[in-house]
Amino acid sequence: MKEIYNCDVGCPIQNTLQVISGKWKSVILYHLFEFDVLRFSELQAKLPYVTKRMLARQLAELEEDNIINKKIYATIPVKTEYSISKFGKTLQPVIKSMEIWGTDYNDVYTSK
């Protein structure tokens, strides 16, 4: 797991951000909650503005933090699937709240 931020011990917001901080982690989680299982290429298609390297890095960090599961199939070419872990599913209300807030934000600022 990553080094803990230098904040008051037990800060719940920092604890949450510790896991989902990273430019694309929340978006990756949003798509995995929506589709259950996605291959690397499918995630890449959903995030066309993210480089392969950055996507792989964010996925590796989420896997390291036990938020997602990575399953590799011994096929040619290799097939890799990502899904939300049991522990990662506890983040669903957080990601859902972000989705609701983002939708409301879009509604307010696109209606001006």
Sheet holding 68-73, edge to edge: 37-39, 79-84, 68-73
Instruction: Give pLDDT, residue 96.
Output: 95
Banded pLDDT at 11 (limits 50, 70, 90): confident
Residue 8 reports pLDDT greater than 60? yes
pTM: 0.84
Rounded Cα–Cα distance for residues 35 and 86 (Å): 15
Residue 3 reports pLDDT greater than 80? no
Residues 27-34 have a mean pLDDT of 97
What's the token pair of residue 94?
């957080």
* Average pLDDT value over all residues in the chain: 89
- Looking at the chain, how many residues does it have? 112
Instruction: Give pLDDT, residue 23.
Output: 85
Rounded Cα–Cα distance for residues 59 and 65 (Å): 10
- Over residues 77-106, the pLDDT tens digits come to 889 999 999 999 999 999 999 999 999 888
